[in-house]
């Protein structure tokens, strides 16, 4: 009898009826052998395929498992081919049994097909314990047989039911990374004549299997013992795809551990974390205590002195290598991939600090003979399915020494250039990844070439030059999904090419361009896309690719963006933000004679090698030519940088701009030879004003160096969206810290200081006399184009960004960034003030029902940046479309600028103005003394704008106003609004023909279910369906929170049951008298003016009665 039959005779098992509440094992000594034993081994059963596989397993893994089971029909032959023996059985390596008569079984026999020996598949196929094996292969809630395949004695057989029911503890997790059995033969090196694989596969390597580490969800309120005896703090998981999850791993932003933030983000127990973020929801708790440190699998180029061509897994490397956008290029999961990525597979040595060995070239690809360096392929576009083996993205791209005629790219009209891919050194390629500016006249001849040899000769003359030919490669744009920019598309993801090119720039691509429609819907709309448009197939697949919740639930909180780790996950992440905190600048001043001893820093004489008389009148900042990771204003730099072609790319007005562009502000040393920056080691918030004076303050935003602080410095991550910047410190404090008492650091004034909001003053941008300003998107988060100077300095200094973001006219700006959507145009120049004739709004006249006009009788708050795009429109058509589309459009439009109606317009304006003056005369009287101001008084839920001087002594100055309108606008005081007829009927001008000026195309919004809210901003717990929802509801991730496809979905998030059977109060105006009724309100009021609906009679009276009572 051969060795495999002998093995089967020793295998005993029995299924036992088990509890479905947890993982339970039963034992029995009764032997039961399935199948028959003959001289040739085991005969296959009628079906050699597994009865069930975990549906969460990737499709290629499932195919590999099924193929392995089919091959096991001829087990004796498999044994001879694979050369597996009993000595190879490992007690700690568990896998699915491939025996034809053993279904749903995990074993550690070591008998597996050779096809399973793929390192990338190991986490899905091999496990440290039988429990993990069962869940990984067959999922939770199913019976799994466990067969001990090692040892000579009969064993106690086990059967398990794996469930996902709540338990006090999480399911066991492997104590170390699953290890695949060693291959039966030595690695085979590729022939040098073939293309060498020197780049990662088409997707990030699979370094973890979520199915191998099952986690049992613990409902809130059940005391979890996870992590007992472990001092790790718990927080919401930042891992991609980990939803409704709390964990105690170390993967969270450093800012969370700072004073002032720690209490809100880090918790002593898992239950506290679950209660804080997922109260009432199922909460998964992932305990990492006792898990092995995975740093042994973080391989990189050795930074040890004298190491050349060496890969190591030591922790001695720059921390920036693990930052977002760099980790995937610098940190590799194995020494083999490290050697392949950086040294063409030819490491001189491999240093494994975990084992303490220098294994020499043992883990490298040893070539059979001397060869030229293999080409480095471009970083591939991520696809939705990982490939089973690395993909070579080059066609015949073996290294061609300069001078040897290369035939690459023949018949392809792509131009060659130096590669811009990270890690691609000494490389020319003909891909499309290069700055647009290179193709302009005057630059094209220096950057783009007809052949690879011309490129190599230009940049690497006399050097070994790698040539990467991309001709014939498939266009991956079908896998570039993003928010649809088409007019009227709300909650839509698309893979069209119609989106701003800046979305593909470094630092933005990973947040804006996603590899699949599912990830796009999950990232931007909480998994609830209204439609998915696939331009490659020509289909609008509706919501087919969206992630539908299994039941009505409140939305999980949106966490800050985690720092990217080396382990990719299998599912998308709901909208995330954030980036690593940048290190403070280290400014080195060579003019030590003029600085104090306490702050001076000695520098090498090499930084002062240029004589003083040779210094330029303007000391431009640029990457240092003497020091790595440094910026300098030393005039000794290549003269080519002064050319028009390179000046905007290499020279900067400030040190910060240089560091941000070339070193991402990480460990950037500033060498100042002109004496324009003080010598200091302070963080950016207190840096010398001389360095920031020319950088252009971009508005107030949360400080990335100090907790509970708002600042207007230009020290912030380049990836931050416009909504992160506010016009004043008070708004910033309230928006991000929910308090008016946060610290404020001023960077734009004459001095930098920290204070609270009370010392904050809003400094509007200065008006240039010539006012020859460029137009750009507002950086305050509004849907507007402006020509102020509040924008990142990089937009001005970098010609590529300047062409993208700074436009000549407001119409160009609106067309570029907002397409056919409503776009406000706000000029900072008096001579460019917007024509009032183009400011259309709903008529405020008592008899102006369903009327749009361009008169000036409307609340001044409507022109504020936060309300302008909701109330002011640039054509009567746009106004009517926005307010009355669902009720048949406007009854009338009144143009006050039409000459034929000027006389009537005067009557209308005068009468309305008199009425307005009469109505407000009592509230606009002169202040009784110099200290009286308008200010918001009362509790937060019942604010009233009051004119007096008895506000608290420490009341923030930002909340003191010159007018009642300003106070009402900022605090949504319901009592500010009055609804009363004019003193007498007014004449109406005749309707004129359409205007001659260009108008925006009307935008037809999709009808959606959304929650109603009153004028004070409080939701009424009632959902309606129409397309009259405000614009802010469809912006970004708000569409997933407030716009729904059904009433059930809307009510599931906003709890319609509260007032569904209760009365709603609304103002009824009859005969000039206002009364608040509790009957069913008019349909037009529900659909078009939900702010007129109130939960109580007192709220209604307060809003619409002149006396505040009915």
Taking Cα atoms as reference points, which of 661, 1091, 670 lies closest to residue 842? 1091
Could you give the residue ranges of the DSSP H alpha helices within 197-242? Answer: none
Q: Which residue has the higher pLDDT, 834 or 80?
A: 834
Among the ranges given (216-230, 519-533, 646-660), the one the predictor scored with the smallest mean pLDDT: 216-230
Comparison of pLDDT for 862 and 179, the residue scoring more:
862
Model confidence at 972, pLDDT cuts 50, 70, 90, reads low
Query: Which residues neighbour 329 within 8 Å (Cβ) at sequence distance 6 or greater?
Result: 379, 422, 423
Highest mean pLDDT among 123-137, 772-786, 983-997, 1035-1049: 123-137
Mean pLDDT across 51-63 = 78
Secondary structure of 425-469 in the HEC alphabet?
CCEEECCCCCCHHHHCCCCHHHHCECCHHHHHHHHCCCCCCEEEC
**Would you state the pLDDT for residue 868?**
74
- Span 337-355, pLDDT tens digits: 888 888 888 888 888 887 6
Dist CA 50 CA 572 (whole Å): 29
Copy the structure tokens of residue 61.
Answer: 């893994």
- Tokens representing 62 are 């499932």
More confident residue, 788 or 767: 788
DSSP conformation letters of 93-104: -BEE---TT--S
* 932 phi-psi bin (left φ>0, alpha ψ -120 to 50, beta other): beta
pLDDT averaged over every residue in the chain: 63
Helix (H) or strand (E) holding 301: strand 300-301
Rounded mean pLDDT, 16-35? 30
Residue 34 in this model has a pLDDT that exceeds 60? no
Give the whole-number percent of the chain exceeding pLDDT 90: 1
DSSP string over 906-942? HHHHHHHHHHHHHHHGGGSPPPSSTT-EEEEES-GGG
Calpha distance 789→926 (Å, rounded) = 35
Model confidence band, residue 112 (pLDDT cutoffs 50, 70, 90): confident
> Dihedrals φ, ψ of 540, to 5°?
-105, 100
Residue 578: predicted pLDDT:
34
Looking at residues 1078-1099, what average pLDDT do you find?
74
pLDDT confidence of residue 159 = 43
pLDDT in tens, 993-1009: 444 444 444 445 788 88
Residue 913 is predicted with a pLDDT of: 31
Q: Where are the domains of the chain?
A: 3-162, 193-291+549-580, 292-363, 401-418+437-473, 476-540, 583-692, 836-976, 1008-1104
Structural contact between residues 755 and 743, judged by C-beta atoms closer than 8 angstroms: yes
Give the range among 848-862, 934-948, 1006-1020, 1059-1073 with minimum mean pLDDT.
1059-1073
- The pLDDT assigned to 444 comes to 84
Beta bridge mates, 417: 429
Q: What is the mean pLDDT of residues 455-470?
A: 84
- Report the run of H or E that residue 130 belongs to, with start and end: helix 130-138
Q: Choose between 528 and 234: higher pLDDT.
A: 234
pLDDT at residue 449, rounded to an integer: 92
What per-residue confidence (pLDDT) applies to 192?
Answer: 37
């Amino acid at each position: 009898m051969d060795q495999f039959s002998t093995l089967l005779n020793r295998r005993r098992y029995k299924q036992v009826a088990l509890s479905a509440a947890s993982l339970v094992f039963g034992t029995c000594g009764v032997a039961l052998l399935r199948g028959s034993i003959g001289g040739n081994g085991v005969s296959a059963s009628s079906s050699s395929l597994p009865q069930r596989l975990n549906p969460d397993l990737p499709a290629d893994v499932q195919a590999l498992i099924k193929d392995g089971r089919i091959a096991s029909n001829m087990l004796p032959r498999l044994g001879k081919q694979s050369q597996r023996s009993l000595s190879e059985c490992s007690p700690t390596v568990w896998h699915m049994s491939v025996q034809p008569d053993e279904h749903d079984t995990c074993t550690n026999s070591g008998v597996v097909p050779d096809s399973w020996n793929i390192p990338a598949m190991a986490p899905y196929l091999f496990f440290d314990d039988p429990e993990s094996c069962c869940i990984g292969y067959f999922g939770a809630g199913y019976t799994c047989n466990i067969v001990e395949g090692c040892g000579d004695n009969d064993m106690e057989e086990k059967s398990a039911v794996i469930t996902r029911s709540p338990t006090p503890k999480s399911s066991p997790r492997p104590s170390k990374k699953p290890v695949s059995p060693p291959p039966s033969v030595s690695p085979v090196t590729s022939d040098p004549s073939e293309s060498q694989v020197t780049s990662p596969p088409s997707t990030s390597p699979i370094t973890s299997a979520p199915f191998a580490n099952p986690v049992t969800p613990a409902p809130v309120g059940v005391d979890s013992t996870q992590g007992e005896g472990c001092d790790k703090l718990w927080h919401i998981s930042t891992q991609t795809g980990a939803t409704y999850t709390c964990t105690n791993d170390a993967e969270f932003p450093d800012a969370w551990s700072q004073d002032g933030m720690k209490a809100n983000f880090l918790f002593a127990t898992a239950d506290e974390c679950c209660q804080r973020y997922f109260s009432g929801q199922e909460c998964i708790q992932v305990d990492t205590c006792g898990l092995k440190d995975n740093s042994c699998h973080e391989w990189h180029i050795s930074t040890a002195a004298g190491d050349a061509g060496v890969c190591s897994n030591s922790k001695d490397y720059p921390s920036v290598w693990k930052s977002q956008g760099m980790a995937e290029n610098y940190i590799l999961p194995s020494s083999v991939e490290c050697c392949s990525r950086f040294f063409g597979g030819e490491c001189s040595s491999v240093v494994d600090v975990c084992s303490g060995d220098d294994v020499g070239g043992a883990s490298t690809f040893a070539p059979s003979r001397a060869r030229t360096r293999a080409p480095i392929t471009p970083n591939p576009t991520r696809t939705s399915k990982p490939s089973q083996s690395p993909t070579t993205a080059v066609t015949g791209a073996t290294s061609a020494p300069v001078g040897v005629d290369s035939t690459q790219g023949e018949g392809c009209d792509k131009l060659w250039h130096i590669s811009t891919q990270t890690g691609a050194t000494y490389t020319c390629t003909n891909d499309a990844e290069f700055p647009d500016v290179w193709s302009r006249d005057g630059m094209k001849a220096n950057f783009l070439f007809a052949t690879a040899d011309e490129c190599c000769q230009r940049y690497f003359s006399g050097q070994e030059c790698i040539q990467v030919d991309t001709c014939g490669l498939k266009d991956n744009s079908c896998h570039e999904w993003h928010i649809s920019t088409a007019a009227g598309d709300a909650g839509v993801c698309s893979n069209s090419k119609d989106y701003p090119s800046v979305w593909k720039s470094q630092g933005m691509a990973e947040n804006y361009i996603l590899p699949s429609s599912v990830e796009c819907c999950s990232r931007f709309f909480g998994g609830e896309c209204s439609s998915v448009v696939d331009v490659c197939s020509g289909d609008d697949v509706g919501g087919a690719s969206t992630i539908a919740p299994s039941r009505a639930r409140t939305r999980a909180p949106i966490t800050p963006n985690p720092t990217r780790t080396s382990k990719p996950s299998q599912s998308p992440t709901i909208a995330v933000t954030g980036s690593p905190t940048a290190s403070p600048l280290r400014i080195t001043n060579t003019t030590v004679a003029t600085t104090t001893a306490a702050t001076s820093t000695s520098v090498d004489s090499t930084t002062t090698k240029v004589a003083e008389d040779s210094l330029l009148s303007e000391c431009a900042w640029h990457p240092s030519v003497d020091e790595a990771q440094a910026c300098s204003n030393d005039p000794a730099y290549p003269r080519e940088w002064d050319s028009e072609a390179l000046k905007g790319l290499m020279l900067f007005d400030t040190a910060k701009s240089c560091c941000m562009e070339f070193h991402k502000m990480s460990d950037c040393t500033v060498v100042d030879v002109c004496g324009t920056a003080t010598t200091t080691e302070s963080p950016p918030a207190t840096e010398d004003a001389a360095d920031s004076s020319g950088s252009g303050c971009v508005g107030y935003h949360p400080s990335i160096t100090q907790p509970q602080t708002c600042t207007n410095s230009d020290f912030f991550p380049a990836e931050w969206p416009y909504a992160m910047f506010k016009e004043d410190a008070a708004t910033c404090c309230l928006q991000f810290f929910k308090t008016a008492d946060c610290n404020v650091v001023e960077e734009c004034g004459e001095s930098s200081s920290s204070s609270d909001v009370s010392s904050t003053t809003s400094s509007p941008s200065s008006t240039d006399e010539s006012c020859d300003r460029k137009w750009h998107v507002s950086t305050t988060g509004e849907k507007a184009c402006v020509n102020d100077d509040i924008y990142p300095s990089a937009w001005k200094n970098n010609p590529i960004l300047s062409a993208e973001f700074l436009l000549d006219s407001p119409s160009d700006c609106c067309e570029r960034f907002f397409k056919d959507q409503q776009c406000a145009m706000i000029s900072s120049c008096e001579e460019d003030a917007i024509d009032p004739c183009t400011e259309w709004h709903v008529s405020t006249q008592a008899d102006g029902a369903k009327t749009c006009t361009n008169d000036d009788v409307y609340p001044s708050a409507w022109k504020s940046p936060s309300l302008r795009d909701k109330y002011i429109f640039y054509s009567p058509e746009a106004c009517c479309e926005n307010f009355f589309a669902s009720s048949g459009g406007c009854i009338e439009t009144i143009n006050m600028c039409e000459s034929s109606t000027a006389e009537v317009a005067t009557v209308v304006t005068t009468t309305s103005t008199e009425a307005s003056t009469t109505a407000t005369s009592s509230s606009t009287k002169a202040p009784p003394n110099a200290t009286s101001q308008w200010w918001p008084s009362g509790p937060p839920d019942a604010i009233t704008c009051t004119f007096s001087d008895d506000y608290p002594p420490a009341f923030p100055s930002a909340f003191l106003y010159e007018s009642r309108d300003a106070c009402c606008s900022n605090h949504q005081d319901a009592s500010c609004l009055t609804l009363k007829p004019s003193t007498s009927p007014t004449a109406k001008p005749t309707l004129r023909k359409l205007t001659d000026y260009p108008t925006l195309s009307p935008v037809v919004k999709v009808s959606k279910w959304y929650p109603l809210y009153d004028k004070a901003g409080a939701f009424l717990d009632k959902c309606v369906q129409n397309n009259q929802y405000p614009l802010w509801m469809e912006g970004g991730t708000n569409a997933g929170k407030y716009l729904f496809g059904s009433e059930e979905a809307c009510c599931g998030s906003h709890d319609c049951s509260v007032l569904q059977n209760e009365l709603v109060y609304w103002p009824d105006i009859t005969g000039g008298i206002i009364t608040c009724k509790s009957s069913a309100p008019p349909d037009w009021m529900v659909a078009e003016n939900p702010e007129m609906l109130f939960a109580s009679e007192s709220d209604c009276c307060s809003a619409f009665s002149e006396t505040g009572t009915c």
